[in-house]
């Protein structure tokens, strides 16, 4: 039974990783906000959101699928690492479950709430003033808005997972060592950038590029994990 469960978790990790990589490619083609979103005026954002409503929603649905598939891979990695360190696997798994909560709230808001707020703001009807205020609070690009704060909390939990899981994962085969190093670099880089931000060494305009740039190591780790799960499955 235990071997069968391990095999099922491995398949979950592999196919979730494949889905995640597909959504990464799709995200390059789908808009998530008005062009030059950090500098865009509120009026321009409202106009853009109404003119590109379907594309905006589709882009964030893709982000939702991407986050859920990525989290599934990381949960499978935590399960795999737990064979060498059960405590690390458990702590890592809890971090991922908490990150899902942090990520899913803003993504649902982008799909459900923001398009309706933009429509209310544009029509000038009942609730338009309220809608304008909420749209400013829920800006999807400004790095210190309420919306993006949830996203960065999710990535902070991913970084915690990475630091906890890297050591036990490194005890496995070569491909898993590669994944462990990538996770370790991501976790350390994210923590270092956070310290630099708190020390005012990172400008607000650079937050997104620097912090999201560190997630490239996370993508590399996922690619390695997909190969690892595939190899492990073939050996079963």
Q: What is the mean pLDDT of each run of 10 residues along the chain (236 residues)?
A: 81 96 95 85 90 96 97 96 92 96 95 93 82 88 86 95 95 93 96 92 84 93 95 62
pLDDT of residue 236: 46
pLDDT value at position 209?
Answer: 86
Dump pLDDT digits (tens) for 5-36. 888 999 999 999 999 999 999 999 999 999 88
Number of compact structural domains in the chain: 1
pLDDT of residue 235: 53
pLDDT of residue 12: 94
**How many C-beta atoms surround the C-beta of residue 191 within 10 A?**
16
CB 65 within 8 A of CB 23: yes
pLDDT at 36: 81
Question: Which domain, by its residues, includes 207?
Answer: 2-235
Does the model's pTM come out above 0.85? yes
């Amino acid at each position: 039974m235990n071997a069968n469960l391990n095999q099922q978790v491995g398949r979950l990790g592999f196919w979730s990783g494949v889905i995640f990589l597909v959504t990464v490619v799709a995200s390059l083609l789908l808009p998530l906000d008005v062009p030059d979103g950090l500098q865009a005026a509120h009026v321009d954002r409202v106009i853009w959101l109404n003119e590109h409503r379907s594309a905006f929603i589709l882009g964030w649905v893709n982000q939702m699928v991407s986050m859920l598939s990525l989290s599934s891979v990381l949960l499978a990695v935590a399960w795999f690492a737990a064979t060498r360190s059960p405590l690390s696997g458990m702590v890592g798994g809890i971090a991922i479950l908490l990150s899902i909560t942090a990520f899913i709230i803003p993504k649902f808001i982008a799909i459900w709430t923001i398009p309706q707020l933009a429509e209310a703001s544009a029509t000038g009807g009942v609730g338009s003033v309220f809608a304008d205020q909420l749209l400013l609070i829920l800006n999807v690009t400004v790095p210190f808005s309420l919306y993006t704060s949830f996203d960065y909390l999710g990535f902070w939990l991913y970084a915690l997972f990475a630091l906890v899981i890297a050591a036990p994962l490194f005890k496995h085969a070569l491909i898993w060592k590669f994944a462990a190093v990538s996770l370790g670099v991501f976790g350390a880089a994210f923590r270092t950038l956070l310290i630099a931000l708190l020390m005012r060494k990172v400008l607000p305009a650079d937050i997104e590029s620097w912090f999201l740039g560190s997630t490239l190591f996370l993508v590399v780790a996922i690619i390695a994990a997909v190969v690892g799960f595939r190899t492990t499955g073939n050996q079963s």
